[in-house]
């Protein structure tokens, strides 16, 4: 991220959501983005996820300047390079667990080995035995495991997660956090995670704290307490 600024609206509605943010993330790192509500975390994740464009600044992914890509190229780049995990699993309830995981592969138009890879991922997230169940017949924690597998099916360079434990109880959160950490290490994939759940993640490679649209590297517990 190179001098990223994002401004929403204009005139009296003008909001500077990100203010000249720069940092870098190495391949395979687990990075947390923390900060109080309204600080700019989602905006930052939307920029990195190429879901929205910065007002100023550049975003390089695998050495490519994504800010010069047109909308078509951005979509295919996103499908190939990025995986998403959200607060709510957003599974399609008419489909089976296995079909949900295969979906991003089908959307990307590369069906090759989709079922085998989906089965392997299901095994990795510990849900092999739920494969044929419909997605509305499994628990919240299981749904989030499926969402993680779905986020990984296209072998993305970077996995972006927005409050992946935000809708889970403490015990389930713990298992989801451990799962994400072990998958990141096993697959050498970069995970960038927006979370209010700093404690559950324990030791990670990098923490970026966003405060009033500015980014700081590292935990700032004393400051965070004051903000909260």
Site of interaction with ligand ADP (CB under 6 A)? 8-9, 15, 17, 35, 37-43
Least spacing, CB of residue 151 vs ligand ADP, in Å:
18
Cβ-proximal residues to 25 (8 Å cutoff; 6+ apart), any chain: 31, 190, 192, 206
* Residue with Cβ nearer ligand ADP (28 or 166): 166
Least spacing, CB of residue 194 vs ligand ADP, in Å:
7
Q: Strands (DSSP E) along 174-213, which ranges?
A: 190-194, 206-211
* Residue with Cβ nearer ligand ADP (120 or 212): 212
* Residue with Cβ nearer ligand ADP (121 or 191): 191
Among residues 111, 112, 197, 115, the alpha carbon closest in space to that of 149 is found at 115
* Residue with Cβ nearer ligand ADP (8 or 60): 8
Among residues 140, 130, 128, the alpha carbon closest in space to that of 164 is found at 140
Q: Name the strand (E) or helix (H) holding 27.
A: none
Least spacing, CB of residue 41 vs ligand ADP, in Å:
4
Least spacing, CB of residue 168 vs ligand ADP, in Å:
15
Q: What is the CA radius of gyration of the chain?
A: 18
């Amino acid at each position: 991220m190179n001098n990223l600024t994002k401004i929403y609206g204009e005139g009296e509605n003008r909001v500077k959501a990100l203010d000249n943010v720069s940092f870098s993330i190495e391949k395979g790192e687990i990075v947390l983005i923390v900060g109080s509500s309204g600080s700019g975390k989602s905006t930052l994740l939307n920029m990195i996820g190429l879901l929205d464009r910065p007002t100023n600044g550049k975003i390089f992914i695998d050495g490519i300047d994504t800010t010069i890509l047109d909308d078509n190229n951005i979509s295919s780049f996103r499908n190939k390079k990025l995986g998403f995990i959200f607060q709510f699993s957003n599974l399609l309830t008419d489909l089976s667990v296995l079909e949900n995981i295969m979906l991003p592969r089908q959307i990307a138009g590369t069906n090759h080995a989709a079922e085998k890879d989906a089965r392997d991922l299901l095994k990795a997230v510990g849900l092999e035995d739920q494969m044929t169940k419909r997605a509305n017949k499994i628990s919240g924690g299981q749904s989030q495991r499926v969402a993680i597998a779905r986020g990984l099916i296209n072998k993305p360079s970077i996995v972006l997660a927005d409050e992946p434990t935000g809708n889970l109880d403490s015990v389930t959160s713990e298992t989801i956090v451990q799962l994400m950490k072990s998958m990141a290490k096993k697959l050498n994939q970069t995970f960038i995670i927006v979370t209010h759940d700093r404690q559950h993640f324990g030791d990670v490679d990098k923490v970026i704290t966003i405060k009033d649209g500015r980014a700081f590297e590292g935990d700032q517990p004393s400051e965070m307490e004051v903000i909260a």
